[in-house]
C-alpha cells in the first residue's frame, strides 16, 4: 500500500472516468423487489473466483480493491482490470468467468445472482440495456488497454495508469494506490522493476511525490499524457 500525491494540475486529463452512472444503476437494481443482494468480506489476496469457473455471482466492490487476471502456463500474469469501490465486476452474459479475480486488500463486496439480473432484464428493457452498456464499457476499457499494451512505451503506460487511477480514486491531488508494483506491472505488461524505475524518474522530475512509503511531496509541472 503506497500513498501517492499528485498535483491537481497534473491530473487534468482526457481519460474518461468510470461510469458511476452504471454503478449507481446497479445499486438501484439491487433495491428492486426480489433481487437478492448480500454482502461478503474477503481478506487481502484472497481468490474470489478462478478462470473458467461457473459464474455464480455478479459483484460490486463496496470497500477495498480487486484485480482480475489471466495466467500463462509459465506463471506470467496479465491483469485485465482493477475494480475499486462502487465498481461492478464479473458481469458475464454467459455462464462462466473469463478471468480470475482476487482481492488486493481486505475487501467487502455486494453479491447478486446473475439469474436475478436476467429476470429483471427480461421484465425491464432499461435494465437489459444497462447490463449491455456495462459490458460495452468494459470492452471500451479493454480496447484502450490493447492500444496501451501494443503500442505505448513504458513511461507512457505508467503515465496513463496514474491518470486512470487518479480519475478513479483521487481526492485533493492525493491518491492511495492499493496495488503493489508487481500488480501494476502485470496490468501494464511490464516488470515490477520497470514500474519502479519509471515512478522514480517521475519523482525525480518533480511530477509526483510519495507519502506513506518514502517521503515526498506533490509538485506542479503541467504534464500531458496525451496518447
Which letter does DSSP use for residue 98 in this model? S
* Cβ–Cβ < 8 Å for 51, 77: no
In whole angstroms, the minimum distance from the beta carbon of 96 to a copy of itself comes to 10
Q: Which is nearer to DNA, 29 or 188 (CB)?
A: 188
212 touches which of a copy of itself, DNA, none (CB within 5 to 8 A by kind)? DNA
In whole angstroms, the minimum distance from the beta carbon of 147 to a copy of itself comes to 4
Distance between CA atoms of 202 and 224, rounded to whole angstroms? 13
* 180 lies in the binding site for DNA (CB under 7 A): yes
Q: What mask, x for binding DNA by CB under 7 A, covers residues 72 to 101?
A: ------------------------------
List Cβ neighbours of 202 (8 Å cut-off, separation of 6 or more): 158, 159, 162, 208
Distance between CA atoms of 85 and 96, rounded to whole angstroms? 23
| Region from 135-143, 163-171, 173-181, 209-217 binding a copy of itself, contact rule CB under 8 A | 135-143
Signed CA dihedral, 46, 61, 77, 49: sign only: positive
Distance between CA atoms of 55 and 114, rounded to whole angstroms? 8
Considering only residues 62-121, where is the footprint of a copy of itself by CB under 8 A? Answer: 70, 72-74, 76-78, 80, 92-94, 98-99, 118, 121
- The length of the chain is 227
In whole angstroms, the minimum distance from the beta carbon of 133 to DNA comes to 34
In whole angstroms, the minimum distance from the beta carbon of 222 to a copy of itself comes to 18
Could you say which of 213, 217, 224, 227 contacts DNA (CB under 7 A)? 213
* 214 lies in the binding site for DNA (CB under 7 A): yes
Considering only residues 182-211, where is the footprint of DNA by CB under 7 A? Answer: 182, 189-197, 199-200, 210
Size of the site for DNA (CB under 7 A): 23
Residue that is written with C-alpha cell 496525451 in the block: 226
* Residues forming beta bridges with residue 66, ordered by sequence position: 83, 103
* 204 lies in the binding site for a copy of itself (CB under 8 A): no
Maximum Cα interatomic distance, the chain, rounded to a whole number of Å: 56
Query: In 10 A of CB 227, how many CB atoms?
Result: 12
Question: What is the enclosing helix (H) or strand (E) of 154?
Answer: helix 154-169
Q: What is the contact surface with a copy of itself in residues (CB under 8 A)?
A: 70, 72-74, 76-78, 80, 92-94, 98-99, 118, 121-122, 125, 128-129, 131-133, 135-136, 138-140, 142-147, 149-152, 186, 188-189, 226-227
Amino acid at each position: 500500500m503506497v500513498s501517492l500525491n499528485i498535483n491537481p494540475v497534473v491530473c487534468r486529463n482526457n481519460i474518461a472516468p468510470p461510469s458511476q452512472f452504471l454503478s449507481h444503476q446497479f445499486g438501484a437494481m439491487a433495491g428492486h423487489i426480489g433481487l437478492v443482494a448480500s454482502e461478503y468480506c474477503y481478506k487481502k489476496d484472497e481468490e474470489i473466483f478462478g478462470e473458467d469457473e461457473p459464474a455464480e455471482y455478479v459483484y460490486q466492490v463496496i470497500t477495498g480493491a480487486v484485480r482480475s487476471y489471466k495466467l500463462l502456463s509459465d506463471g506470467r500474469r496479465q491483469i485485465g482490470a482493477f475494480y475499486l469501490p462502487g465498481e461492478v465486476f464479473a458481469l458475464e452474459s454467459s455462464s462462466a468467468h473469463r478471468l480470475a479475480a482476487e482481492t488486493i486488500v481486505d475487501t467487502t463486496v455486494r453479491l447478486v445472482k446473475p439469474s436475478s439480473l436476467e429476470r429483471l432484464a427480461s421484465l425491464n428493457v432499461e435494465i437489459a440495456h444497462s447490463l449491455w452498456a456495462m459490458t460495452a464499457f468494459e470492452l471500451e476499457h479493454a480496447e484502450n488497454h490493447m492500444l496501451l499494451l501494443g503500442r505505448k512505451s513504458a513511461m507512457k503506460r505508467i503515465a496513463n495508469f496514474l491518470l486512470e487511477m487518479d480519475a478513479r480514486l483521487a481526492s485533493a491531488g492525493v491518491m492511495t494506490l492499493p496495488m503493489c508494483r508487481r500488480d501494476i506491472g502485470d496490468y501494464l505488461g511490464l516488470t515490477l522493476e520497470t514500474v519502479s524505475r519509471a515512478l522514480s524518474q517521475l519523482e525525480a522530475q518533480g511530477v509526483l511525490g510519495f507519502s506513506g512509503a518514502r517521503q515526498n511531496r506533490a509538485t506542479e509541472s503541467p504534464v500531458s499524457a496525451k496518447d
